[in-house]
Amino acid sequence: MFYQPSRPVSGPAYSPWFKMIATVLSFGLAGYAVSFLLRHPVEGLGPKLLLVGGVLLLLWSWRGLLRATLSIDEQGIRQGGWFGKQVAWSDVRSAKMIGIPYAGWLSPPRLVVRTGTAFYTFNGGTDELLTEFARISLAYEMKR
């Protein structure tokens, strides 16, 4: 086991700003779908169910985004949500922070962790989590 955090850190996986943008877009798309159904009568039940199913899937994903949490402790990194992910420290081969150029105001940097067989991306919604991401990234950069 190479890295151990100085103390457990936990918080939301997405920032309030990102959640607000996701909320506006999700409800905007859902509202547009309802508006479309009211303005354009669709023949048959199949296309209507498909559109309603798409809106329900969108709202289900949005709810998961709002409730997702991230925890960093002595066991590893865990991000909860509808499809949670977990990486133990013993499985980590490298870690690096990446960001979207010129879009840091929209989405903060993420931590990309490489294990022996896969890559995992973790989102941090608080400054405390982002600081821990930087420590993890620096520790694995110095390991090379």
Instruction: Specify the pLDDT at position 25.
Output: 94
- Mean pLDDT within 7-36: 91
Residues 89-135: pLDDT tens digits? 999 999 999 988 887 777 788 999 999 889 999 999 899 999 999 99
- Mean pLDDT within 10-17: 91
- Mean pLDDT within 2-26: 90
Cα end-to-end span (Å), the chain: 15
Could you tell me whether strands 69-72 and 9-12 are parallel, antiparallel, or unpaired per DSSP bridges? antiparallel
Instruction: Specify the pLDDT at position 129.
Output: 93
Percent helix, percent strand, percent coil in the chain, to nearest 5:
45, 20, 30
Fold for the domain defined by 9-14+69-143: PH-domain like (2.30.29)
Listed by start position, the domains of the chain span: 9-14+69-143, 17-64
Confidence category of residue 45, pLDDT binned at 50, 70, 90: confident
Three-state SS string over 31-45 comes to: HHHHHHHHHCCCCCH
| CA distance to 21, 28, 81, 126, 129, per residue, from 13 (Å) | 15, 23, 9, 8, 9
The amino acid at 84: G
pLDDT of 1 > 60? The answer is no
pTM tops 0.85? no
Residues 52-84: pLDDT tens digits? 899 899 989 999 999 999 999 999 999 987 788
| CA distance to 3, 66, 114, 130, 140, per residue, from 144 (Å) | 13, 36, 14, 22, 7
Confidence category of residue 143, pLDDT binned at 50, 70, 90: low
pLDDT of 144 > 80? The answer is no
